[in-house]
Amino acid sequence: MVLIGRHNELEVLRTSPHGFYLDGGSLGEILLPGKLVPSDAEVGDVLDVFLYRDSEDRLVATTETPYAQVGDFASLKVVGISPRIGIFLDWGLAKDVLLPMRELRTSRPKIGDRLVVHLFLDDQTDRIVASERLHRHLRPETPDLADDQPVKLLIAEKTPLGYKAIVDNAFEGLLYRSDLANPLKIGDRIDGYVRTVREDGKIDLSLDLAGHQRIATHTQIILKALEEAGGQLPFHDKSSPQEIRSTFGMSKKAFKQAIGVLFKKREIIISPDGIRLAKL
């Protein structure tokens, strides 16, 4: 099935002065403008293209890749504002995507702001539009996620408890402020873990694995980093949380627990200058 707002593999039917016409199935022939046609493409080839409507509302194909497709949650930059129509967002294509006023939650967005939105195909207009009303587009079923399962997170909203995040482009979860070494930025995409799925279906999240599994994983990361650095690194329990997170991808608390385990096993030596492998 050929889908508007998604990548499709379509066959080249014929050429024209304007470009290639592709087989859009029930949608008819779809133009891929000449400036976007691969130099070695021929009639009969199958091309990977994205389908959307241009500024004149015609269905067209492009070989360019947008920042997000229909069905995706994404952080997009505000590039235009029309008080009567809505907010225009840069999604990586020549024609900006519209966030209609009825789908807006932010009271007064400004040019340059980034908004976390969901892209969907409007049933009435058949146009790709954005929505800030994220809850309408989350999957309704209870998440089938295991404790400590790795997940992809999009930071969506700041709350008194912490940060709401879109989990694996499907569900909503919460990162608790008390578990974070540093504030997060709305729109950031980060790796995380499921702490637990509660009985009401809500997901508690963490940036680190829990318990012994977390410590075992973090000790492996530290040992690998030491080996790649020649056996010594300038990090210890006095290093800043930002430096540790940037280098090892873990909190300072997790780092201290991990080097403590490695020290007790006599695998590393901890000094005022950093840590080093014991077998140097």
* Model pLDDT for residues 143-159, shown as the tens digit of each residue: 999 888 899 999 999 99
pLDDT band at 160 (very low <50, low <70, confident <90, very high): very high
Reading phi first (left if > 0) and then psi (alpha if -120 to 50, else beta), residue 126 is in: left
Which has the closest alpha carbon to 203: 177, 178, 172? 172
* pLDDT (0 to 100) of residue 238: 82
Residues 6+ apart with CB under 8 A from 279: none
Place of tokens 């409507």: 53
Residue 212 has pLDDT above 60, yes or no: no
* pLDDT (0 to 100) of residue 261: 87
Contact yes or no for 113/81 (Cβ under 8 A):
no
* Model pLDDT for residues 193-206, shown as the tens digit of each residue: 998 998 888 999 98
Enumerate the H helices of the chain as residue ranges. Answer: 211-228, 241-248, 252-264
Contact yes or no for 150/191 (Cβ under 8 A):
yes
Kindly report the pTM of this predicted structure: 0.74
What domains appear along the chain, each with residue ranges and CATH number?
A: 7-62 (2.40.50.140), 73-136 (2.40.50.140), 150-206 (2.40.50.140), 211-277 (1.10.10.10)
Contact yes or no for 208/146 (Cβ under 8 A):
no
* Model pLDDT for residues 1-22, shown as the tens digit of each residue: 899 999 999 999 999 999 999 9
* pLDDT (0 to 100) of residue 214: 61
* pLDDT (0 to 100) of residue 16: 93
Exposed e or buried b for every residue in 207-236, given b needs 16+ CB within 10 A? bbbeeeebbebbbebbeeebeebeebbebb
Backbone angles phi and psi of 166, in degrees to 5: -80, 125
Contact yes or no for 93/62 (Cβ under 8 A):
yes
* pLDDT (0 to 100) of residue 210: 61
